[in-house]
């Protein structure tokens, strides 16, 4: 089994240049995050785009869905910005026979106190253990991709009732 990892940008990949918080979405952070770990499974990283999730369009979500549907892997992790991650999860709903897990970070991976490595680890565990479906993994929780939203005020994800 090879886990397909698609990177689409977001905070996890942001690089800041100055104290005024000017940034750009850089190369996928997951490559160096995984290089630092003792990984014992096969994975492939593909960068689909480098966008802040607030800039994501329906066409971008269609491109992500096409990539998920087209890959031979039935285990897919997507690193994504957190602001519109639930919208992308819902756009992937209905893909049959594949386990898809979206994750990201509330602080860039290059920051010492980033949650990026923790979230990526959770996503990799979830993609190997959950049945087919679409999920979001953030901060130690696994959410059904259709039943989650980002609580911006609390800066965390919450289940929808």
Binding positions for substrate are 53, 82-83
Is 88 an annotated catalytic residue? no
Catalytic residue among 2, 11, 79, 84: 11
Q: How many CB atoms lie within 10 A of CB 138?
A: 23
Binding residues: 53, 82-83
C-alpha 80/C-alpha 137 separation (Å) is: 11
* Intra-chain end-to-end CA distance of the chain, in Å: 35
Phi, psi of 73 (to 5 degrees): -75, 145
Contacting residues for 148 by C-beta, under 8 A, at least 6 apart: 86, 89, 136, 157, 158, 159, 160
C-alpha 104/C-alpha 126 separation (Å) is: 14
Burial class (CB in 10 A: 0-12, 13-18, 19+), 152: exposed
Positions annotated as catalytic residues are 11
């Amino acid at each position: 089994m090879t886990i397909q990892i698609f990177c689409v940008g977001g905070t996890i990949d942001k690089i800041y240049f100055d104290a005024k918080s000017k940034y750009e979405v850089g190369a996928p952070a997951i490559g160096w995050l995984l290089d630092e770990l003792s990984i014992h499974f096969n994975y492939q990283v593909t960068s689909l785009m480098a966008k802040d999730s607030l800039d994501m369009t329906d066409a971008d979500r269609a491109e992500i869905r096409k990539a998920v549907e087209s890959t031979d892997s039935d285990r897919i992790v997507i690193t994504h910005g957190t602001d519109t991650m639930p919208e992308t999860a819902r756009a992937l709903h209905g893909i049959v026979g594949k386990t898809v897990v979206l994750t990201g970070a509330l602080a860039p991976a290059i920051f010492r106190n980033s949650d990026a490595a923790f979230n990526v680890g959770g996503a990799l565990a979830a993609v190997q253990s959950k049945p087919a479906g679409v999920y979001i993994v953030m901060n130690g929780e696994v959410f059904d991709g259709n039943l989650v939203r980002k609580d911006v005020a609390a800066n965390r994800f919450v289940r929808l009732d």
